[in-house]
Amino acid sequence: MKLIIKTMMTAAMLIAAPVALPVAAAAQEFPLVAGEYTSLSGIFIEDGGTLAYAQFLANEWAKEQAFAKSKGWISDYKIYVNVDARDGEPTLYLASTYRDIPNGAEIERRNKEYTAWIKKSDEQLDAESGNRAKFRKLRGTMMLQEYTPR
């Protein structure tokens, strides 16, 4: 009985080896591994708007990001101030990091859950965003994907 099991295991290993070796070799070809995505929003703060926008970020924005993190929608969020901004560069960047890019249906599901949690309609949220235009301008976003060495 032991000989039969040993023979079967040896045969299985011999059959699996040619399949496993190319996969292992292919996995070693590219030295970097794809990781999470980070969305960066470049924000320009208007003269005299620093305190108002800082209050918004510390209260509303941070609360909303903490909610998204608690739901697993994002894994991290940060505010980066552009200390040595060159002419034409944003004053600060808002960063949200997440594992996957949600599809349309998932975005709609999250939006419904978010608006129920925040207890505001899309119209109210849009109006509030417009009010922030008095002291800040969103000038674009970029999406980065982290890669780490194998």
For residue 64 the two structure tokens come to 């909303």
- Backbone Cα Rg of the chain: 24
Residue 142 exposed, middle or buried by CB count within 10 Å (0-12, 13-18, 19+): exposed
Q: Mean pLDDT throughout 99-126?
A: 92
- What angle is formed at CA 57 by the lines to CA 131 and CA 45, rounded to 5 degrees? 60
pLDDT at 10 over 60: no
Q: With a cut of 50, say whether residue 3 has pLDDT above it.
A: no
H helices of 59-121, in order, are 62-70, 104-118
Looking at this protein, which amino acid is placed at residue 19? Answer: V
Place 115 in a pLDDT band, splitting at 50, 70 and 90: very high
Structure confidence at residue 79 (pLDDT): 98
Two tokens, residue 141: 């976003």
Q: What is the pLDDT of residue 27?
A: 53
Task: Please determine, for residue 102, whether its predicted confidence score (pLDDT) is greater than 90.
Answer: yes
Do 83 and 65 meet the contact criterion of CB atoms below 8 Å apart?
Answer: no
Contact, 32 vs 147, CB < 8 A?
A: yes
pLDDT by residue (tens digit) across 16-53? 555 554 555 555 689 999 999 999 999 999 999 999 99
Q: Give mean pLDDT, residues 7-21.
A: 48
* Per-residue model confidence (pLDDT) at position 8: 44
Each residue's pLDDT tens digit, 117-135: 989 888 888 888 878 888 9
Residues 44/137, Cβ–Cβ less than 8 Å? yes
